[in-house]
Chains A and B, each alone.
Chain A
Amino acid sequence: MSGKEYYISNFCTIRNGCVFKNGKLIYKDITSESLKDFSKNIYKFMELNYSKFHKMDELCKLGFLASEVVLQNEENVDEDTALVFSNRASSLDTDRKHQHTIEDREQFFPSPAIFVYTLPNIIMGEISIRNNMKSENAFFVTETFQPHFISNYSEILMNTGKASSVICGWVDLDSNKYDVFLALLSTKGIRRLTKEELSKLYNQ
Chain B
Amino acid sequence: MRKVYLADDTIISPLGFSTEENLQNLRNNSTGIKEVLDDSIWPSVFYGALLDNDSLSDAWGSFSNDSDYTKLEKMMLLSVSKLLKQNPSLNIHKSGIIISTTKGNIDKLREKNNNKAYLGSIAVTIQDYFKLEKTPTILSNACISGGLALAIGKRMIQSALFDDIIVIGGDLLSEFTLSGFFSFQAVSPKPCKPFCKNRTGISLGEAAAAAWLSSDIKNSKRSVIEITGDATANDANHISGPSRTGEGLYKSINKALKEAALSSNHIDFITAHGTATPFNDEMEAIAFNRSGLKNTPINSLKGYYGHTLGASALIESIIARHCLLNNELFASLGFEELGVSQPINVITTNSNQTIHRVLKTASGFGGCNVALIIEKTG
Contact = CB atoms under 8 A, between A and B. Distances in A.
B110 A124 contact: no
Contact of B117 (A92, A128, A143): A92
A99 B110 contact: yes
Interface string B340-368: 00000000000000000000000011111
B137 A121 contact: no
B306 to A, nearest CB: 18
Given A141-B138, A143-B120, A160-B155, A125 B239 contact: yes
B231 A162 contact: yes
A122 B239 contact: yes
B140 A90 contact: yes
A139 interface: yes
A7 to B, nearest CB: 19
Interface in A73-103: 79, 83, 88-90, 92, 95-96, 98-99, 101-103
A125 B180 contact: no
Given A102-B176, A134-B234, A159 B159 contact: yes
- Categorize the interface residue count of chain A: 35 or more
B224 to A, nearest CB: 22
Contacts of A120: 140
Given A125-B365, A125-B368, A156-B156, A92 B232 contact: no
Contact residues of B: prevailing secondary structure: mixed
B176 A156 contact: no
A136 interface: yes
Majority SS of interface residues in chain A?
mixed
Given A95-B109, A119-B142, A137 B368 contact: yes
Contacts of A165: none
Given A119-B366, A121-B366, A129 B140 contact: no
Interface residues of B, number: 53
Contacts of A131: 236
A109 to B, nearest CB: 8
B238 A162 contact: no
B252 to A, nearest CB: 9
A134 B155 contact: no
Given A105-B43, A110-B183, A152 B239 contact: no
Contacts of B327: none
10 contacts: A95-B109, A103-B110, A121-B141, A124-B234, A125-B367, A134-B234, A134-B235, A134-B251, A152-B161, A160-B158
Interface of A: 1, 79, 83, 88-90, 92, 95-96, 98-99, 101-103, 105, 108, 110-112, 115-116, 118-126, 128-129, 131-143, 146, 149, 152-153, 155-157, 159-160, 162
Interface of B: 43, 102-104, 106, 109-110, 117-120, 123, 135, 137-142, 148, 152, 155-156, 158-161, 175-176, 179-180, 182-184, 231-240, 247-248, 251, 255, 364-368
